[in-house]
Chain A
């Protein structure tokens, strides 16, 4: 697939503005389309007719060996992600804070190592499946288990899948429901803080960031990076 159109435009240009405008229109138009269709059916009896069947409707089948292509793409993706991370870390700039925040919330390939005894697969079949789905990138399937009874591990990965799908408010709720005594609480607190920072760095969030000391080995460096990259207007 080609690069996303916004990435082909110079930052801050009129062209970029046009691409964003076009995208936002399309996005919200699709919501409107749905609403109109529902109203049309309910108030005017106009139902959506079935799709016309043509040769163009038949999808192309990808015959590449799946595993091979997946491995290749995963390797390339990991390489590119590392390069971007290195770029953001060493180049700085006024948007560094946002970049770091975005990196902290890019949880598609997030994985927590577990010891043998506490493997989530030991919990229940459902949780094992949930984790497998998460690892395979089937975030829709993970999110579909939202109503099920889950252990904190399941809940944690469910909240990450919600972040991937952009359903931040629901992710916040799931993260908040991880018990205080659970081992994942610290990790959940970190992601909750990242979600709060998305809506602006208020003094409350900055205080939480500063509270991470060198003893919080997993978060201290990341918190310091975020604090160092804060825009001048932060905390106002």
Chain B
């Protein structure tokens, strides 16, 4: 065991670390815990260091242009972040998964025109978090409606939907009642909807 590893860490030092961005399973758990707590620094540090590796892989093995590879890697990093927050990724072979997700995201984005090789059956096992379809213009209109909400509403919706915090944990952190917070969230969504209705009719 290398001197830097904690005693309770059962991860073999060489191959597993290599496959997992140099992280032991304990360090990985810490990264996830920090991320869930709203501290993104370790996640950024680790994943940004892998960015170039993933990008090169897509250029050299899949024949993507630099720009395509950059965008695909960026999308993969953002998607990976969501998967980690929602406990959909476990310690194992994170580096491989990162590249596979980048390929998968590109295929989804560009459909049949994507310049990647046919994907292996294993890609079906990569977890996804697909949402509803928004065009760029729709996003801009909704963004305007969202920015018109009060600061408290924007913060609450961000915590719930972006940081994936439960209402219960937010209530505990902010010393509020769960029931009030739930009502507040409904009111915020209602306000967003109303502003969207107005934006839609003013178009």
Pairwise interchain contact B148-A163, C-beta atoms closer than 8 A = yes
**B186 engages A12 (CB within 8 Å):** yes
A106 within 8 A of B: yes
As a 0/1 sequence over residues 108 to 152 of chain B, the CB contacts with chain A under 8 angstroms (1 = contact) are: 000000000000000000000001111101110111111111111
CB neighbours (8 Å) of B135 from chain A are 1-2
Q: How many Å from the CB of A15 to the closest CB on chain B?
A: 8
Whether B70 pairs with A49 at a CB distance below 8 angstroms is yes
Is there contact, CB below 8 Å, between B144 and A95? Answer: no
Looking across the interface, which residue of chain B has its beta carbon closest to that of A79? B201
Whether A25 and B192, one on each chain, are in contact in the complex, defined by CB atoms closer than 8 angstroms, is no
Decide: A44 near B67, CB < 8 A? Known: A21-B161, A27-B146: no
What 1/0 flags go to A175-214 for Cβ under 8 Å of B? 0000000000000000000000011100000000000000
B193 and A7 form a contact (CB under 8 A): yes
Interchain CA distance A10-B146 in the complex, whole Å: 19
**Residue of A5, A98, A102, A168 most packed against chain B (CB within 10 A):** A102
A residues within 8 A CB of B77? 36
B residues in contact with A39, CB < 8 Å:
44, 48
How many Å lie between the Cα of A5 and that of B151 in the bound state? 23
A48, B66: Cα distance in complex, Å: 9
Determine how close the nearest CB of chain B comes to the CB of A34; give it in whole angstroms. 10
Query: Which one of B2-10, B21-29, B49-57, B169-177 is at the interface?
Result: B49-57
1/0 contact string of A132-159 vs chain B (CB within 8 Å) = 0000000000000000000000000000
Q: Does B93 lie at the interface of the complex (its beta carbon under 8 Å from any beta carbon of A)?
A: no
**In the complex, which of the residues A18, A22, A103 contacts B134, with contact meaning CB atoms closer than 8 Å?**
A22
A228 within 8 A of B: no
List which B144-203 residues lie within 8 A (CB) of chain A: 144-152, 157-158, 160-162, 186-187, 189-203
| Interfacial chain B residues near A23, Cβ < 8 Å | 132, 134, 139, 142, 146
Residue of B68, B137, B161 most packed against chain A (CB within 10 A): B161
Taking the nearest CB of chain B, how far is it from the CB of A77, in angstroms?
5
- How far apart are B75's CB and chain A's nearest CB, in angstroms? 9
Query: B16 at interface (Cβ–Cβ under 8 A)?
Result: no
Q: Let me know if B39 is at the binding interface, CB within 8 A.
A: no
Known contacts A25-B82, A39-B48, A106-B198, A46 near B203 by CB under 8 Å: no
A-binding residues in B (CB < 8 A) = 44, 48-49, 51-52, 55, 65-68, 70, 74, 77-78, 81-82, 131-135, 137-139, 141-152, 157-158, 160-162, 186-187, 189-203
